[in-house]
A and B are shown apart, each in its own frame.
Chain A
Amino acid sequence: KQEVTQIPAALSVPEGENLVLNCSFTDSAIYNLQWFRQDPGKGLTSLLLIQSSQREQTSGRLNASLDKSSGRSTLYIAASQPGDSATYLCAVKTDKLIFGTGTRLQVFP
């Protein structure tokens, strides 16, 4: 049974820091891995999608890596800003998305 774990559960940092959020999964038989952002009371915004054959994807200040064999992905956020404050979710795709419980990020000025 696929299980997805995210560490840390919560993170509070000053503005400007570079951050690493971690995601691990137990079964490497996935089609892709997707990182989302969720603001309080809102829906999910897709940030990055990495296909199982890829190693990383970049979008602006975000970089996501995937090591399928070890069951790990990291989301790197460069030069964090208060507007980055949100919950970050990773999800692996089999026939459906299986989500981690998220990392709640707060970036203070």
Chain B
Amino acid sequence: NAGVMQNPRHLVRRRGQEARLRCSPMKGHSHVYWYRQLPEEGLKFMVYLQKENIIDESGMPKERFSAEFPKEGPSILRIQQVVRGDSAAYFCASSPDIGTRNQPQHFGDGTRLSIL
């Protein structure tokens, strides 16, 4: 049973470009969470999605950032017009459909985004 898969593992972009980060949850999981870890800081919640719906986006910047989890395919975190401050590790987690509140979240290995 494959774990949470994130790709790419490393992504380099120049200022002003777009970054697309992908996350495939564990099989049977339809709840996906995105977290950001800035250098030397803890993980911060960004957005919580369930298939085709955004449940909570309170941690996601209002501008330039968007997330989706379509009916088919991985969840995508999209950052437009990237700036140096977007350099961070972005982690995705998933949890099962049943009893999700009490279930552990399973994390991917992250995407490390570097902005030149």
**A joins B in a complex:** yes
Residues on A with C-beta less than 8 A from B107 are: 36, 43-46
Contact of A99 with B105 in the complex, beta carbons under 8 Å: no
| Stretch of B43-51, B61-69, B70-78, B79-87 that contacts chain A | B43-51
Chain B interface category by residue count: 20 to 34
Residues on B with C-beta less than 8 A from A42 are: 109-110
Contact of B48 with A96 in the complex, beta carbons under 8 Å: yes
B22-56: which have CB < 8 Å to A? Answer: 33, 35, 41-45, 48, 55-56
Chain B CB within 8 A of A28 CB: no
A interface secondary structure, majority: strand
Interface centre among B42, B59, B110 (most CB of A within 10 A): B42
Nearest residue (CB) in A for B3 is A43
A64-109: which have CB < 8 Å to B? Answer: 89, 91, 93, 95-102
Residues on B with C-beta less than 8 A from A43 are: 91, 107-110
Chain A CB within 8 A of B21 CB: no
Contact of A97 with B33 in the complex, beta carbons under 8 Å: yes
Residues on B with C-beta less than 8 A from A31 are: 101-102
Chain A CB within 8 A of B13 CB: no
Chain B CB within 8 A of A34 CB: yes
User: Could you list 4 further interchain pairs (A-B, Cβ under 8 angstroms) beyond the known A44-B43, A95-B55?
Assistant: A32-B102, A46-B104, A96-B45, A96-B48
**Taking beta carbons and an 8 Å cutoff, which residues of A are in contact with B?**
31-32, 34, 36, 41-46, 49, 51, 89, 91, 93, 95-102
